[in-house]
Copies of this chain bind each other. A is one copy, B any other.
Amino acid sequence: MRTTTHNLRVDGSRLWSTILETATFGATPAGGLNRLTLSPEDGQVRDWFREACEAAGLEVGVDALGTQFALRRGRDMSRPPVACGSHLDTQPTGGRFDGILGTLAGLEVMRALNDAGIETEAPLLVINWTNEEGSRYAPAMMASAAYAGEFTTEDILSRRDAAGISVGEALDAIGYRGTEPVGARKIGRFVELHIEQGPILEAEGKTIGVVEGGQGIAWFDGTIQGFESHAGTTPMPRRRDALLGLAEIALAVEDVAKAHGPSAVATIGEAVIGAPSRNVVPGQVRFTLDLRDPRSAILDAAEAALRARIDEIAERRRLTVALTRIWRKEPVPFDPAIVDSVEAAAGALGLSHRRMVSGAGHDACNLAGQVPTAMIFVPCRDGVSHNESESATQSDCTAGANVLLHTLLALANAPA
């Protein structure tokens, strides 16, 4: 093992140029990307990725759901690979960094190791997971979920998009239905670099997010039933206004999240009045609720507290409120040893950092149950993502890639 790797750095300009170059595949006029999974543009970036990996001496395989695995041999091929990567597909009006940074940083790490002539103990892997975004096909993080055994390959292959095209047909159309069975590719560790998609790092002036896990999430559908009545003739005390019920509930949601802080977040993202009219007191409202926290106990407690607040509001305002939980995903803790490794790497590189939780879902969250996993975050401007204006700086992308490099080295060169 070389003791001088601590000076090793990626080539930040080279990384940045791969981001710009691949951003031509599916570029939008507004400077973002429309590169839906398994589209022709996705086929183009996959070809680019394969060629670049092969040029860097990596062996590229593809599984039955199109996920690409680019292997860099190690001294001891009996050890399972230490993997990195993310995804190259985007939202319909997506940005140039979401998923792309983590995948291309993996390629840059391999190139930097090549430049320095470094051979690791364990082999290394760069992964491009199919369909992380879940825009064209549900669910999001589709291929990593299948890798983790959550879905069968047959199930996923049969899913159809809005135009009726199946995943299988789309894979064939771009020539990416690989021969490796899904789940067969051994992975020893997984480290995913990603933009934060939130405002914390930028607000605190920190460069590196040391991500300790993924949040748990609970989704609810709600309905509020009051009484529709004439806006001119119904005195205020006699109303059963469903929108005012929603108003109190929305403020209670905010209250409950803050009371269960510091991490809990809760959001009413959709709210619709039934048969709305300018001069009719709203009689019915339906709404959605998204509740997240890294701790299961807090998800439970916040839900209970909110139900109690809703009961009080409903009784006082003479409304009928139903809140139905439609989905719950438990929090995903990342591997503490890898998290420590990320933190140590950031510190050794002299980068400001802070521990945090991922508010959004990632392929790493699906892997974490199978494979010791962690994530590294870098800031994005205003915390904006899923938006053509999504933006990260070359300096921050480089910093993240360096943390990735040193974390992978620590893991790949650790005593077996």
Residues on A lying within 8 angstroms of B by beta carbon are: 196-200, 203, 215, 217, 219, 229-238, 241, 243-244, 246-248, 250-251, 254, 257-258, 261-273, 276-282, 288, 290, 292, 358-361, 383-386
Contact = CB atoms under 8 A, between A and B. Distances in A.
Contact of A269 (B248, B258, B279): B279
Contact of A271 (B229, B237, B276): B276
B233 A383 contact: yes
Contacts of A383: 229-230, 233-234, 238
Which of A231, A264, A268, A290 neighbours the largest number of chain B CB atoms within 10 Å of its CB? A231
A363 to B, nearest CB: 15
Contacts of A281: 267, 269
Contacts of A233: 196-200, 358-360, 383, 385
B236 A257 contact: yes
Contact of A270 (B237, B273, B386): B273
B251 A244 contact: yes
A259 to B, nearest CB: 10
A175 to B, nearest CB: 33
Contact of A248 (B232, B238, B247): B247
A233 to B, nearest CB: 3
Contacts of A272: 272, 276
Contacts of A265: 231-232, 234-236
Nearest to A254: B244
A105 B38 CA distance: 72
A318 to B, nearest CB: 13
Contacts of A288: 278
A214 to B, nearest CB: 9
B359 A232 contact: yes
The listed residue with most B CB atoms (<10 A of its CB), out of A237, A243, A246, is A243
